[in-house]
Amino acid sequence: MKFHTEYLWFQTQQHREYVRITDKVEAAVHQSGIREGMVLVSAMHITAGVAVNDNEPGIWNDIDQWLEKLAPYRRDYEHHHTGETNADSHLKNILTHHQVILPVTDGKLDLGPWQEVFYCEFDGQRRKRAIIKVMGE
């Protein structure tokens, strides 16, 4: 049984940004030498997500506006009594979920034709991390 662990660092230019990481996940699988197994890709923060969706800029604009509509920035969240201002980032993270598990078959990510992996930053402009852990044989 083999394991391979990598940490991806991000520092986005925007407060909210969606970064395609499919190639980095594929590279980690290749590096691991694992032919059969699973890869966990998981944000290590509570204000960022990881999601599988289409590599098409329009849909990501739609997703971004929709997240802001369902989980809007507001001043009056109770979390802000701590001095934070990012309660909406926590809620957006709940909507997208913060992780995915990707199947590995025959040494490759076993994804459908339009499935790509994205790191979803909801409180950026600072250094943040995601973990990639490949497990299999």
Q: What is the C-alpha separation between 54 and 135, in angstroms, rounded?
A: 25
SS3 45: coil
CB neighbourhood size of 65 (10 A): 10
Q: Which two tokens stand for residue 108?
A: 């490759």
Given 103, 108, 125, 126, the residue binding a second copy (CB under 8 A): 103
* Residue of the chain from 5, 11, 14, 125 that contacts a second copy (CB under 8 A): 5
Under DSSP, the state recorded for 22 is: H
- Is residue 83 near a second copy by the rule CB under 8 A? no
Binding segment toward a second copy, per CB under 8 A, in 9-17, 18-26, 75-83: 75-83
Neighbours of 38 (CB within 10 A): 14
List residues binding a second copy (CB under 8 A): 1, 3, 5, 36-38, 40, 42-46, 51-54, 56, 58-59, 61-63, 66, 70-71, 77-82, 87, 90-91, 93-103, 105, 110-112, 114-115, 129, 131, 133, 135-137
